[in-house]
Chain A
Amino acid sequence: MNRRWRMLGERLSQVIPVIVLATIIVFGLLQLVPGDPAMTLAGEQATDERIAEIRHLYGFDKPFLVQYGTWLGHAAQGDLSRSLLSGERVVTLIGQSFPHTLTIVVLALLISLLVGVPLGILAAMRAHTRADTAISALSSVGVAIPNFWLAMILVTYFALGLGWLPATGATPLGESVVGSLRHAILPALALAAGGIAELTRQLRSALLEVLSSQYMRTLRAKGLSETAMICKHGLKNVGVNLLTVIGLLFNRLLGATVVVEAVFAIPGMGSLIVRAAINKDFPVVQGVVLSMVLVVVATNLLIDMLYSVLDPRVK
């Protein structure tokens, strides 16, 4: 246990530079965006003095590093400044949007696991048979389908056609669990198609490699059934691979949700950052990026910690 805490400390110290670097890059990129936020804020008929005043007020006239340093200092204290557009605190905006995004992403991940893992096991157990070929054909389709297109198809059939589920919007989880899930299910399905395909393929190939290993032969020589070999020994041995895939998938789903949120008009992180970027609402963009980086970093950290639980050889 002690060893595990020390490992956590080590990883954390590696993570901080990643966070700083990511935010510097985004901060720098925003400087390159054409247009002057001060001019936008001041309005079309503003005088040059008024623009200069606003520029000074928001600190846009200070050197890049000073601006960044100020922002980072505040961010470290939990203050992500206010939206240039609405004047609301960025932390509040993120607090409202993030739960919607998280609901969809977690649901999509769960669906991917529930469908992808059994399919992957089946494909590996029936490798080189028709069932296997059918599964790999399906997963090729799953990888290739653009999720926004799938999202629109799902909306057309299940929401507009059959009327089973709402087509747009979201309900906070705290308000109504059922309502929240009803809103989240179609976007999650649209996101999950790729996840299912990815998990199936990775699990199949990892399991096939394990199945051809010498210890599998030992297990067979002991008189174990194929099911015990695959579901107990196979899965635990591919656990590390599976965790890696899950971690990557989670991070990718976080990114992919931007487009799907747009299709379903969900007020999540994706919608927030898109709107902010279009309006040059820098504090919001910066805040969303920082929180996404934090989530990704935390996921990776968690996955790293879980490696040592699954594989006794990981120190």
Chain B
Amino acid sequence: MASDTSKQQGRPGPEMGHRPPLLSVRELGVALQTRGGNLQLTQNISFEVGAGERVGIVGESGCGKTVTGLALLRLLPARSMQVSGKILLDGTDLLRLPGRQMRAIRGRQVAMIFQEPMSALDPVFTIGQQIGEAIRAHFPVGAREARERAVDVLDRVGIPLPQRRHDEYPHQLSGGMRQRAMIAIALACQPRLLIADEPTTALDVTIQAQIIELLVKLSSEAGTALLFITHDLGVVAETCERVLTMYAGQVVEDAPVEDVLVRPRHPYTSALMRSLPNLSVPKSVLPSIPGRVPNALAMPAGCRFAPRCAHARPACGRAQDALPVGADHRVRCARFDELELPGTAA
């Protein structure tokens, strides 16, 4: 993680010899303000992303992964959502930045791509205009140079005939091409971190694989860190070095991918892995997790997964802390030491 730090215009780390990670999220929480009071959507989210590192966030719909991604760039509606905690980018807390400085971060330091490329692109501007204005928002370049750079980045994301595509509108592109165009917009200013929120969910399976491959390739070529938000553990296994498992607004496990695949420590992570379809075993019954995600209005007092957990004990009724399993592995389960949980089959 400390490899290519020379090119970052860096503030010196707080401690000599120890460089802080690119992104450090501490005790991040998002609350929805309602008439009846605040509804806590996510809580105590803490994790780090090193420079150039690829981190996945997995979890079911509604676990708070998208909200977390949006909170990082302060894209949640300020009127109805309250964000607490710290989001440190190079040690600077993004939550305390004034609007103008936050704008300078968006797109330039941290960029984001979204699930639905069609609705995430402005329908009445050409692809090239939408890339060009991202460039011109952060660099003092003229229209001609913006165009050259836009065509160049379209080429880099594998869009054929970039000169022509530059002047086309989103509705003229296919779904996969649109997502490539989204990626081009996001990477136009060479950000250091790319947040990808379910970027392949709306695409055909064959296109999904291409987009994932492209993201990994671009991220490793440019040293861009990647925060990959998905419900698909299989994608994370292919893409990421580390994975955060989220459940009901909390991170329940944070571990290197290779560790967690072999030996997950949280019963929920383990259950997620077993519910992945395995094509090599035809017509097998896919295990599913019984029960439903708890309602944010009625969170269990102790372990939030306990009501659905096969390993729950009375002790699970107490609030669970994130416990260290190893140097880079934490889990929010009091019983992690006693349990022997299966990872991915085979």
Interface residues of A (CB under 8 A from B): 128, 213-215, 217-225, 228, 233, 236-237, 239, 310-313
Contact = CB atoms under 8 A, between A and B. Distances in A.
A217 B195 CA distance: 14
A233 B107 contact: no
Interface in B162-208: 169, 171, 182, 185-186, 189
A220 B70 CA distance: 11
B187 to A, nearest CB: 11
B318 interface: no
B82 to A, nearest CB: 17
18 contacts: A214-B114, A214-B119, A215-B122, A215-B123, A217-B75, A220-B106, A222-B106, A223-B107, A223-B189, A224-B107, A224-B137, A233-B125, A236-B124, A237-B123, A237-B124, A310-B124, A311-B123, A312-B124
B169 A223 contact: no
Given A128-B79, A213-B119, A214-B114, A222 B134 contact: yes
Contacts of A312: 123-124, 169, 171
Interface of B: 70, 73, 75, 79, 103-108, 111-112, 114, 116, 119-125, 133-134, 137-138, 169, 171, 182, 185-186, 189
A311 B125 CA distance: 9
Contacts of B186: 221
A311 B122 CA distance: 11
A313 B103 CA distance: 31
A220 B121 contact: no
B190 to A, nearest CB: 13
A222 B136 CA distance: 10
Given A128-B79, A214-B116, A221 B111 contact: yes
A210 to B, nearest CB: 9
Contacts of A221: 73, 75, 106-107, 111-112, 186
Contacts of B120: 214-215, 217-218
B133 A218 contact: no
A216 B101 CA distance: 19
Nearest to B172: A312
Contact of A223 (B105, B123, B124): B105
A25 to B, nearest CB: 39
A128 B77 CA distance: 13
Nearest to B185: A222
A233 B119 CA distance: 14
A223 B104 CA distance: 6
B103 A225 contact: yes
Contacts of B103: 223-225
Given A217-B120, A224-B133, 5 more contacts: A214-B119, A215-B120, A222-B134, A225-B137, A237-B122
B8 to A, nearest CB: 18
Nearest to A239: B124
Given A223-B137, A313-B171, A218 B122 contact: yes
Contact of B124 (A214, A219, A311): A311
Contacts of B111: 221-222
Pairs A-B, 3 closest by C-beta atoms = A223-B107, A223-B106, A222-B107
A222 B137 CA distance: 8
Contact of A217 (B79, B114, B138, B185): B114
A217 to B, nearest CB: 6
Nearest to A210: B122
A214 B120 CA distance: 5
A128 B79 CA distance: 10
A310 to B, nearest CB: 7
B4 to A, nearest CB: 23
Given A215-B122, A218-B120, A223 B185 contact: no
B324 to A, nearest CB: 34
Contacts of A128: 79
B115 to A, nearest CB: 9
A310 B114 CA distance: 26
B75 A220 contact: yes
* Centre residue among A221, A228, A310 by max chain B CB count within 10 A: A221
Contacts of A215: 119-123
Nearest to A311: B124
Nearest to B109: A223
Contacts of B75: 217, 220-221
B296 to A, nearest CB: 22
A103 to B, nearest CB: 34
Contact of A233 (B70, B122, B137): B122
A222 B70 CA distance: 13
A236 B119 contact: no
A233 B123 CA distance: 10
B124 A218 contact: no
B169 A313 contact: yes
A218 B125 CA distance: 13
Contacts of B123: 215, 237, 311-313
Contact of A236 (B112, B116, B125, B169): B125
Contacts of B119: 213-215
A29 to B, nearest CB: 44
Contacts of A313: 123-124, 169, 171
Contacts of A217: 70, 75, 114, 120
* Centre residue among A128, A224, A236 by max chain B CB count within 10 A: A224
A147 B138 CA distance: 49
Nearest to B74: A220
Given A214-B116, A312-B169, A312-B171, A222 B121 contact: no
* Centre residue among A214, A223, A233, A237 by max chain B CB count within 10 A: A223
Contacts of A239: 124
Nearest to B103: A223
* Centre residue among A219, A220, A310 by max chain B CB count within 10 A: A219
B130 to A, nearest CB: 8
